[in-house]
């Protein structure tokens, strides 16, 4: 596959305007189409071979627990053997794939982006039903997947160009180039099951690596649908191997294998640290120190100063705290507000939150749907109880119901103190902790006083205060006078500090370097 297309400058995929009736009808039709496909069985894919296993597990619609989205061959039942086969297949495929020209590799990404763009609502509908995304959230996820494919394809072509070096004083010809690493373990999360999964997988592929993809057991169907896209564009076998398990066994085998050259992970702090520790161990037959690219979440804060536009701040807080049920690593889970405007702001935030509709995500007017699973539901309800036990006051929400789906009302808890449990620990649910600060300096101090450092936002009309945030707010993605969610590929390279991970800066111009190594070549002339 040779690429001869003239590439336009990268532009972000536009979001769908669901206020238009024609777009509403298209989305309804896509949901009907996907609903007709629910409950199908899906295999493991190794070296292009589709393997049915006796042991299965089900992917369930979190907003309707009676609905089985997909039934999957459970590779945890034979994890060591299947992972070994997948890594061996990827190792063999690497020997040829690494020498495929960058432009040709990029063409597979561009073709995949075209397919997803043409069937945008179809892929969004899978996310509505499999992970509980509302229409707008699912559409944003699909658009981001397209962006990653388009952006990383262009970036690989750029990195394959002649790289600048200092002219040698010696009579020699010199050049510097980037080469791929090898076989990568790709372990994406369930909360951006198309965008992050596709971005993590294809950033490794376009740089010349081969992969074993283990999607989350909470979102395997959308990952399989992406595998179908890769098959449709003709990606050679063995480059992406699909091995999904119901638990941790597959991931453990991938991480520990001496043939794995790098691990790309997005998920919780606990799992990320475990992967980091295991990857640091050299095992028999291992010839390298493994690279780990990890994005591990956050305890993100929006700081509201006493001179802020209160209406703008309230709107940004509600969107960032409760979009996709707060299940974003960038979500606002802490609102830190100057005591002088605390009461005014909280009243506006509560009023806006009261307007949110809690319901099934397949309904167009739903604002907040169910959290992903029983564990997440139980964890969130326990945190709400802990917040009250430690002296917080639930001013709205707090109720939960898991009879039909895992529904938790958007919940705001005021009177939270620095170092309280819900002020420090990631909840990953529609629960917002409100902390009152004495002044702006105190607010920034509270904001920085966590183990994390992913996103943060400041609302203030003072340029001096905004500059102070630029210098002192220790997060990888800082937003001024806007919400702390909604990073765009290429516009806001994404990744955080401290226990938020390795600051990967996904969607940034340096991201692909994590999957390559530099080679300097000098020839005497």
Which of these, 318, 325, 291, lies nearest to 434 by C-alpha position?
Answer: 318
Tokens of 430: 């529609």
Tokens of 315: 């709107």
Do residues 478 and 460 touch, judged by C-beta distance below 8 A? no
> Catalytic: which of 253, 295, 423, 426?
295
Tokens of 482: 């806007």
Q: Which helix (H) or strand (E) holds 344?
A: helix 342-354
How many CA atoms within 13 Å lie on the side-chain side of 381?
Answer: 15
Instruction: Give the strand pairing for 393-396 and 411-416.
Output: antiparallel
The whole-angstrom distance between residue 2's C-alpha and the CA centroid of its chain comes to: 31
Q: Is 433 left (phi over 0), alpha (psi -120 to 50) or beta?
A: beta
Collapsed DSSP state (helix, strand, coil) of residue 239: coil
Show the DSSP H helices in 56-101 as ranges.
79-97
For 249-262, give the DSSP string.
HHHHHHHH-TT--E
Q: Which helix (H) or strand (E) holds 230?
A: helix 220-232
Do residues 185 and 263 touch, judged by C-beta distance below 8 A? yes
Q: Count of CB atoms within 10 A of residue 223's CB?
A: 26
CA separation for the pair 53, 43 (Å, rounded): 7
CA separation for the pair 157, 115 (Å, rounded): 21
CA separation for the pair 451, 232 (Å, rounded): 43
Q: Determine whether 231 is exposed, middle or buried from the number of CB atoms within 10 Å of its CB (0-12, 13-18, 19+).
A: middle
Cα–Cα–Cα angle for 359, 363, 369, rounded to 5 degrees: 30
Q: Determine whether 38 is exposed, middle or buried from the number of CB atoms within 10 Å of its CB (0-12, 13-18, 19+).
A: middle
Do residues 484 and 302 touch, judged by C-beta distance below 8 A? yes
Do residues 498 and 294 touch, judged by C-beta distance below 8 A? no
**Catalytic residue at 329?**
yes
Rg of the chain over all Cα atoms, to the nearest angstrom: 23
> Catalytic: which of 13, 144, 329, 425?
329
Show the DSSP H helices in 160-219 as ranges.
195-206
CA separation for the pair 299, 506 (Å, rounded): 19
Backbone angles phi, psi at 461, to 5 degrees: -100, 10
**Which residues form the catalytic set?**
295, 329
């Amino acid at each position: 596959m040779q690429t001869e297309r003239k590439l336009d400058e990268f532009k972000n995929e536009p979001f769908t305007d669901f206020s238009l009736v024609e777009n509403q009808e298209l989305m309804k039709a896509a949901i009907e189409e996907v609903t007709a496909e629910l409950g199908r069985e899906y295999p493991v894919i190794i070296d292009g071979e589709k393997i049915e296993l006796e042991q299965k597990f089900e992917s369930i619609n979190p907003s309707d627990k009676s609905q089985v989205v997909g039934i999957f061959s459970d590779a945890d039942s034979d994890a060591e053997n299947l992972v070994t086969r997948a890594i061996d297949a990827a190792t063999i495929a690497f020997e040829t794939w690494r020498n495929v020209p960058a432009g040709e590799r990029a063409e597979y990404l561009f073709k995949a982006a075209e397919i997803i763009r043409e069937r945008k609502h179809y892929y969004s509908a899978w996310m509505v039903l499999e992970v509980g995304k509302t229409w707008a959230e699912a559409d944003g996820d699909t658009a981001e997947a397209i962006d990653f494919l388009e952006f990383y394809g262009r970036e690989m072509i750029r990195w394959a160009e002649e790289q600048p070096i200092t002219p040698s004083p010696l009579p020699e010809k010199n050049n510097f180039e980037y080469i791929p690493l090898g076989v990568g373990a790709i372990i994406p999360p369930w909360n951006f099951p198309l965008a992050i999964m596709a971005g993590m997988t294809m950033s490794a592929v376009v740089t010349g690596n081969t992969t074993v993809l283990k999607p989350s057991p909470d979102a395997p169907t959308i990952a399989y649908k992406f595998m179908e896209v890769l098959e449709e564009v003709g990606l050679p076998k063995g480059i992406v191997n699909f091995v999904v398990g119901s638990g941790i066994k597959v991931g453990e085998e991938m991480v520990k294998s001496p043939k794995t050259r790098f691990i790309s992970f997005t998920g919780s702090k606990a799992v990320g640290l475990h992967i980091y520790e295991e990857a640091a161990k050299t095992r028999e037959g291992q010839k390298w120190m493994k690279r780990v690219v990890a994005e591990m979440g956050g305890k993100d804060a929006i700081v509201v100063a006493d001179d802020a536009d209160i209406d703008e701040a309230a709107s940004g807080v509600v969107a960032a705290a409760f979009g996709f049920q707060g299940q974003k690593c960038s979500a606002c889970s802490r609102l830190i507000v100057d005591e002088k405007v605390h009461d005014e702001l909280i009243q506006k935030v509560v009023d806006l939150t009261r307007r949110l509709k809690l319901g099934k995500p397949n309904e167009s007017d739903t604002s907040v749907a169910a959290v992903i699973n029983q564990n997440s539901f139980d964890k969130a309800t326990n945190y709400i109880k802990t917040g009250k036990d430690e002296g917080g006051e639930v001013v709205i929400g707090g109720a939960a119901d898991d009879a039909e789906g895992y529904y938790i009302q958007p919940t705001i808890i005021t009177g939270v103190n620095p170092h309280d449990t819900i002020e420090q620990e990631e909840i990953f649910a529609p629960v917002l902790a409100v902390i009152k600060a004495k002044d702006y300096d105190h607010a920034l101090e509270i904001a920085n006083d966590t183990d994390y450092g992913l996103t943060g936002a400041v609302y203030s009309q003072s340029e001096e205060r905004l500059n102070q945030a630029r210098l002192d707010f220790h997060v990888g993605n800082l937003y001024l006078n806007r919400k702390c969610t909604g990073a765009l590929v290429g516009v806001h390279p994404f990744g955080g500090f401290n226990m938020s991970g390795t600051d990967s800066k996904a969607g940034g111009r340096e991201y692909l370097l994590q999957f390559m190594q530099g080679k300097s070549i000098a020839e005497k002339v």
